[in-house]
């Protein structure tokens, strides 16, 4: 398997965590999103990933895209250790948490949106900072409420799930924007449990060969 | 089952299509997103859905949120007719398509974002229109490329999947913004196949009791 990845992309980070938790070996292919107009926009990459996004997981030459779909594929193909509970309603709660990050937080601070806020919108740096804080606060508060009644230490119990694989990169991203994480003790507890795992440590942005 | 829904919400529309395709009866509970500050912000609704979003599917009193997670739950609980192919890589392609809409198109034109563009950003009506066209063009072009090689008539073959359940509401939404759909013939073919189904027709925004 080959993972097309960028060290600081939170979606790539999700996929790396899931691959490592499953104990799967893969070959990393760095895609530099910022150099020379972005390697993700080159025709050979677009043929794999028409969205021009990372990650792409290539399996026997077939490209799989979208980090949450990649995690589901990993779960179906390599069931151990599981990244979803067994009971359907519990699975639904895990997926809803991951989607709350992937659909309502991450899309509003990704590279393409950050560029659009600059040009053509041309909004001030202060207004851009406020934009990011707004969506982070709104989204992370909801995520905290979604798991606050749980016993932990992970988002949904005593072992990592797709929820945790999605949470860790989102909190990494929130720190990049200087967001105060104190209001989210349950999220921080889950993050700490994840970051104690060597598999998660090996997936960290700074541990990647393409880290700048 | 009770579905908390708003007629024009594209995420609610996805869930309604999936429920109808599965042939499941449910009770609709309208949540008016625009009246009196939004019923989704009331404490009793927030206790079900901390994100203050629709839809929520309540099953035996337990709330399930996020339309894609709801569809996965439906698929696991009521497997017939299937909304995912059987082969894991094909399932991954369907999910990636649905996520390309749910993560990269819909989040940039939802009610909360539209409001923020108005206040505090205060960007002009023309700039807001350009914002929507930009993300629609970028996102729908990628979606078209993701399925253009398929035989159809649905997004991924001869029967509807979660991809089609997500596509139909997104094209409905694109028309609200006056987006030109001519560049997406494969998407339009899939939409036409879906709209020919009574189950999909019954899920349409205008067919809902709360349609204004």
Percent of chain A past pLDDT 90, that is, above it, reads 98
| pLDDT given for residue A104 in this prediction | 97
Among the partner-chain residues A70, A73, A92, the one whose CB lies closest to the CB of B72 is A92
The confidence score (pLDDT) of residue B34 equals 92
Chain B: closest CA distance from residue A11 (Å)? 11
Q: Are B163 and B150 in contact (CB under 8 A)?
A: no
Residues on chain A touching B88 (C-beta within 8 angstroms)? 73, 76-77
Region A68-75: what's the mean pLDDT? 98
Predicted local confidence at residue B36, as pLDDT: 85
Confidence category of residue A36, pLDDT binned at 50, 70, 90: confident
User: How many contacts does A have with B, using Cβ atoms within 8 A?
Assistant: 124
Q: Which of B66, B68, B142 lies closest to A51 in CB terms?
A: B142
3-state secondary structure of A61: coil
Contact check, Cβ <8 Å, B92/A104: no
Give just the sign of the alpha carbon dihedral B75, B80, B83, B86: positive
Task: Kindly state the average pLDDT of the residues A74-101.
Answer: 98
- CA dist., res. B126 & res. B121, Å (int): 14
CB contact under 8 A, A104 and B102: no
Q: Give A206 to chain B, closest Cα distance, Å.
A: 25
Q: What is the pLDDT of residue B187?
A: 98
Dihedral pair phi/psi, residue B18, rounded to 5°? -65, -45
Beta bridge partners of B30: B5
Positions in chain B whose pLDDT score sits under 50: none
Mutate to test the interface with A, among B96, B161, B170 (most CBs of A within 10 A): B96
pLDDT tens, residue by residue, B149-180: 899 999 999 999 999 999 999 999 999 999 99
* Angstrom distance (rounded) from CA B4 to CA B35: 16
Structural domains of chain A, ranges and CATH numbers in brackets? 2-80+200-207 (3.40.30.10), 88-197 (1.20.1050.10)
Is the pLDDT at A37 greater than 90? The verdict is no
């Amino acid at each position: 398997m080959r993972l097309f990845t960028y060290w600081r992309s939170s979606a790539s980070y999700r996929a790396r965590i899931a691959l490592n938790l499953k104990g799967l070996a893969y070959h990393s292919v760095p895609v530099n999103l910022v150099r020379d107009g972005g390697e993700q926009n080159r025709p050979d990459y677009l043929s794999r990933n028409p969205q021009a996004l990372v990650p792409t997981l290539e399996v026997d030459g077939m490209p799989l895209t979208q980090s949450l779909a990649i995690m589901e594929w990993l779960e179906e193909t390599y069931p151990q250790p599981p990244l979803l509970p067994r009971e359907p309603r519990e699975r639904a709660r895990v997926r809803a948490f991951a989607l709350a990050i992937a659909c309502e937080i991450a899309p509003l601070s990704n590279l393409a949106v950050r560029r659009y806020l600059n040009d053509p919108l041309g909004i001030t740096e202060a207004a851009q900072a406020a934009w990011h804080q707004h969506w982070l606060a709104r989204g992370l508060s909801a995520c905290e409420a979604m798991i606050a009644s749980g016993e932990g230490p992970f988002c949904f119990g005593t072992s990592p799930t797709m929820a945790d694989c999605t949470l860790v990169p989102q909190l990494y991203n929130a720190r990049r924007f200087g967001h105060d994480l104190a209001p989210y003790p349950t999220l921080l507890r889950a993050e700490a449990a994840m970051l104690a795992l060597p598999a998660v440590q090996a997936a960290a942005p700074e541990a990647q060969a393409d880290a700048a």
